[in-house]
Structure 1
Amino acid sequence: MKPIRRKLLIAAAISLMGMSVANAAGKKDDAATSRVAVFESASATQLTASQKGKPFVLLVWSLDCVYCKRNFDAIGKLRARYPDLRVVTLAMDNPEALPQVQQILKRVNLTRNAWVFGSEPQERLRYAVDPDWMGEMPRTYFYRADGQRQGVSGVISDADWDKHLRWAGIAG
């Protein structure tokens, strides 16, 4: 084989390997942004810190919560009005329910910034989210950029969504 042809083949092989590595890294990044993290009691500060001091909405939900779907529907409409709306989800289901949790989140297009309760006792995990929360569902928290928050239990009306989003500095 001629030296020039050999160099071209080596360069092509190196180029293909580089593209494969870059493609794999891109897929890894996509998977990382859409993976569901396990929430343990020590994760509460990590969850809020992940939003980098920006206002956001935390939706706490469960697979067996029939009313949670209404809040998911409302968030879908709000994201159309406010494309920069930051939403974090926290499923109260155990890690074994992860495939079902992922399926629901994919269906409502909320696969980024998603969490599922870990293996610690639910009471401890709920307390880590909010010491005053007794576990009623759905539960929604509106966070301001400065970390202040308001918690709301139950289905939220359109007018209340607007009020809470204004309070958080998300909507004008």
Structure 2
Amino acid sequence: MKTLGLALALAVAMPSFAAPPVPLNTTDVDALVAKPAKGTRIIALWALDCAYCEQNLKALADWQRKHADVDLVFVATDPMSQSVTLEARLKAAHVDTVPSRAYAESTPDRINFLIDPAWGGETPRTMVIKSDGTRRALSGALTTARISKLLD
């Protein structure tokens, strides 16, 4: 029993290590934006030079913790060559447990268009895809009320 208690205490005390962002290529976008089999997928597009992005990532991660049917993924519009910096930013914001992607091609505008043809590339951008195929997207800072409205 003491061994189990010690193992549990160590597991809680050990820091969790998240994987670095996974490369996102144009060939990966169809799967990213495909309608989920059930529930809702939220794609949070962000960038290192974005003033409101960290706030949005935190708000969305908090929302997801309370809504188990939401599949959340962060997509950095910065290149994979910045993966160490991207990972550090997510860790500092305490949102590094959310699956993360980063652009892996030299044509970011092409990836932007494939993700959302109506998107001009501004960040933060939040896209919601529901299992019935409906999509909504919103640019700008998020509040709990804006998240709720986006998911309605």
TM-score between the two structures when normalised by the length of structure 2: 0.77
Identity over aligned residues, as a percent?
A: 25
* Higher-strand-fraction structure: 2
**Contiguous gaps of at least 5 residues in structure 1:** 1-29, 168-172
Aligned residues: 136
Distance 1:80 1:46 in 2: 23
1:156 partner SS: coil
Distance 2:52 2:80 in 1: 21
Deviations 1:137-169 (A, max 9, x none): 10000110123210101112321211222x2xx
1:46 partner SS: helix
Cα distance 1:50–1:143, how it changes in 2: closer, same or farther (>3 A)? closer
- 1:15 corresponding residue in structure 2: none
2:131 partner SS: coil
**Contiguous gaps of at least 5 residues in structure 2:** 1-15
Q: Which has the higher contact order (CA 8 A, sep 6+)?
A: 2
Distance 2:23 2:35 in 1: 14
TM-score between the two structures when normalised by the length of structure 1: 0.69
Q: Does 1:163 align with 2:140?
A: no
Cα offset for 1:39?
A: 1.1
List aligned pairs for 1:40-55, cutoff 5 A: 40-49=25-34, 51-55=36-40
- 1:147 corresponding residue in structure 2: 133
Q: Which of the two has higher C-alpha Rg?
A: 1
Cα distance 1:144–1:84, how it changes in 2: closer, same or farther (>3 A)? closer
- 2:70 corresponding residue in structure 1: 85
Is the CA contact (8 Å cut-off) linking 1:140 and 1:153 kept in structure 2? yes
Q: Which moved more, 1:128-137 or 1:79-88?
A: 79-88
- 1:104 corresponding residue in structure 2: 89
RMSD (Å), alpha carbons: 2.4
* Higher-helix-fraction structure: 1
